[in-house]
C-alpha cells in the first residue's frame, strides 16, 4: 500500500469513528468526540468541518456538557433529516414500533394488539400493517430507513440467526427470522432477543454506564436478562447468555416452557404471579392484580413478597457468576414497587451481608406513555446503530 492510501485509509477510519460516536451518543462537542475517540482535538475539528461541509452533521444550537469532564462546548449531531431507524418488538399479544431519527431522537411510537395464537404468517401480516401505518403516519417510506431492528422473546443464535427454543412466539422457533423479515419488509433487518434489546436500550437511551459489567434482569411476561460489558451485550456462543429465567430454582418444580423443571421464570414472571393469585380471586389481568395490590390486600402482598424473596436469590446467583457493577432491573413486575423490591433487597442482604447494587431501567422514559415493557423496540434500533448496515 502506498503512503497516500495509508493516510486516506486512516482519515476514513477516523471519520467513521467520529460518526459512530455521534450515532451512539446522539450529540457531542468536539472536545467530547476527541475524548471518546482518542483522536486529537485538531483532527476531530478537521473531521467535523468536513462533515459539516458535506451536510452530514450540524450544530444543534445548544451547549453540550460532558458528564465525565463537566466541560461544555457546542453540541454537534448527525443531521436528523439524513434518515430514520425503525425498531419493532414482537411480543405475546402485541407488536410495538419505534421510529428514531438519525440524531437518535424518538419521533414515533406505536402499539398493535396481536392475538396469542397467531401463526408466523399472521405475525408477518401484522408487521406489514404496522410498518405501512408507521410510514404513512410519518409521511415517509422504506427508502429513508437507515436500518430496522426487531426484538423477539426468544434467544437468537448469533451464528445462524435462527430463533432458539423457549420462544414467547412459538411459531418462530428455528426460523431464520432476520432473513425472513428482510425479504418480507424489503429492507435489511437485524434481530435479537428482547432482553438483549432492552439492555441495549439502557446503554443507548438510559443511564447504564458504557464501561464496566452490568446484569440487566427483565421481570415481565417471561423472565429474561442480558449481560452487558463496556456497552456491548454479550450474547454468548448460542445466544443464551443472560437467560437468567431458565436457571433452575427448584429441581422438583413444575415443567417450564423450555422443557426443564423449576426454572426461576416459573416463580418470577407476570403469568407466574397471576397463576398464584388465581385460586384466591380467579383469573385476572396484571392491571387488576396491581390494583388489588395497591389496595393493600394481604394475600396479594404475600404472593409478591415471596416472588421478591426468590428474586433476591436469583440476584445472588448472578452476582456470584458475573460480579456486576449493578443489577439494572426492567419489566413490568418492577412496577409493583417496594412490595416486590424490598423482599428482594432483604433476601440478597441476608444471603450476602451486603446491600444489592440495584437500579431500575430508565431507557423507556424517552417514549411517550411508556411502560417498562416498551423498551425492546427501542433497543432493537440499537442493533442497527451499533452495527450500521
87/153 with CB nearer Zn ion: 153
Q: Which CB, 156 or 380, lies closer to Zn ion?
A: 156
- What are the residues binding Zn ion (CB under 5 A)? 246, 256, 258, 260, 263
Residue in 208, 217, 273, 214 with CA at minimum distance from that of residue 243? 217
**232-234 vs 326-330, strand pairing mode:** unpaired
List, in sequence order, every residue forming a beta bridge with 110; answer none if it has no partner: 97
In the complex, least distance from residue 255 CB atom to Zn ion, rounded to whole angstroms: 9
- Pick the closer one to Zn ion by CB: 90 or 256: 256
CA-to-CA dists, residue 156 to 35, 54, 87, 153, 380, angstroms: 35, 38, 17, 9, 13
Which residues lie closer than 8 Å to 360 by C-beta, 6 or more apart?
A: 328, 329, 330, 334
- Least separation, in Å, of the C-beta of 263 and Zn ion? 3
Q: Single out the residue of 130, 121, 140, 146 nearest to residue 89, CA to CA.
A: 130
Q: Min. distance of Cβ 148 from Zn ion in angstroms?
A: 30
The least distance separating Zn ion from the CB of residue 258, rounded to whole angstroms, comes to 3
Give rounded-to-5 percent helix, strand, coil for the chain: 45, 20, 30
Let me know: does 203 contact 231? Beta carbons within 8 Å. yes
Minimum CB separation from Zn ion for residue 227, in Å?
18
Decide whether 133 or 260 has the Cβ nearer to Zn ion: 260
Among candidate residues 332, 327, 329, 337, the one with its CA nearest the CA of residue 372: 332
Question: What's the full length of the chain, in residues?
Answer: 389
Q: What are phi and psi of 208, to 5 degrees?
A: -70, 120
Nearest residue (CB) to Zn ion, 27 versus 166:
166
Distance CA 320, CA 335 (A): 26
Q: How far is the CB of 37 from Zn ion (least distance, A)?
A: 43
Give the whole-angstrom CA distance, residue 354 versus residue 74. Answer: 43
State which residue, 107 or 248, has the beta carbon closest to Zn ion.
248
Cell output for 278:
388465581
Q: Which is nearer to Zn ion, 181 or 256 (CB)?
A: 256
State in angstroms the smallest separation of the CB of 89 from Zn ion.
Answer: 21
C-beta of 238: minimal distance to Zn ion in Å?
15
Q: Which is nearer to Zn ion, 168 or 358 (CB)?
A: 168
Amino acid at each position: 500500500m502506498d503512503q497516500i492510501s495509508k493516510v486516506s485509509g486512516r482519515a476514513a477510519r477516523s471519520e467513521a469513528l467520529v460518526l459512530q460516536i455521534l450515532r451512539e451518543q446522539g450529540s457531542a462537542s468536539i472536545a467530547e468526540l476527541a475524548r471518546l475517540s482518542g483522536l486529537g482535538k485538531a483532527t476531530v475539528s478537521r473531521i467535523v468541518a468536513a462533515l459539516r461541509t458535506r451536510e452530514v452533521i450540524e450544530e444543534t444550537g445548544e451547549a453540550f456538557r460532558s458528564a465525565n469532564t463537566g466541560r461544555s462546548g457546542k453540541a454537534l449531531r448527525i443531521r436528523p433529516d439524513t434518515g430514520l431507524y425503525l425498531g419493532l418488538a414482537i411480543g405475546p399479544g402485541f407488536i410495538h414500533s419505534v421510529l428514531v431519527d438519525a440524531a437518535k431522537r424518538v419521533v414515533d411510537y406505536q402499539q398493535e394488539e396481536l392475538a396469542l395464537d397467531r401463526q408466523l404468517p399472521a405475525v408477518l401480516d401484522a408487521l406489514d400493517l404496522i410498518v405501512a401505518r408507521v410510514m404513512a403516519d410519518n409521511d415517509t417510506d422504506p427508502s429513508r430507513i437507515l436500518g430496522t431492528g426487531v426484538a423477539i422473546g426468544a434467544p437468537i443464535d448469533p451464528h445462524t440467526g435462527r430463533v432458539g427454543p423457549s420462544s414467547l412466539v412459538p411459531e418462530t422457533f428455528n426460523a431464520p427470522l432476520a432473513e425472513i423479515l428482510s425479504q418480507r419488509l424489503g429492507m435489511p433487518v437485524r434481530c435479537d432477543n428482547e432482553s438483549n434489546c432492552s439492555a441495549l436500550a439502557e446503554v443507548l437511551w438510559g443511564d447504564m454506564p458504557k464501561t464496566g459489567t452490568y446484569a440487566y434482569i427483565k421481570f415481565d411476561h417471561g423472565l429474561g436478562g442480558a449481560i452487558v460489558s463496556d456497552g456491548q451485550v454479550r450474547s454468548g456462543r448460542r445466544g443464551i447468555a443472560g437467560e437468567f429465567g431458565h436457571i433452575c430454582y427448584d429441581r422438583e418444580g413444575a415443567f417450564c416452557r423450555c422443557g426443564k423443571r423449576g426454572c426461576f421464570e416459573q416463580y418470577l414472571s407476570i403469568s407466574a404471579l397471576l397463576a398464584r393469585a388465581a385460586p384466591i380471586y380467579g383469573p385476572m389481568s396484571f392491571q387488576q392484580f396491581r390494583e388489588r395490590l395497591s389496595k393493600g390486600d394481604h394475600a396479594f402482598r404475600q404472593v409478591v413478597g415471596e416472588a421478591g424473596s426468590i428474586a433476591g436469590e436469583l440476584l445472588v446467583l448472578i452476582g456470584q457468576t458475573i460480579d456486576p457493577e449493578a443489577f439494572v432491573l426492567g419489566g413490568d413486575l418492577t412496577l409493583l414497587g417496594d412490595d416486590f423490591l424490598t423482599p428482594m433487597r432483604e433476601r440478597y442482604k441476608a444471603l450476602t451481608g451486603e446491600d444489592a447494587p440495584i437500579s431500575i431501567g430508565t431507557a423507556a422514559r424517552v417514549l411517550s406513555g411508556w411502560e417498562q415493557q416498551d423498551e425492546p423496540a427501542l433497543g432493537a434500533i440499537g442493533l442497527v446503530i451499533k452495527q450500521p448496515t
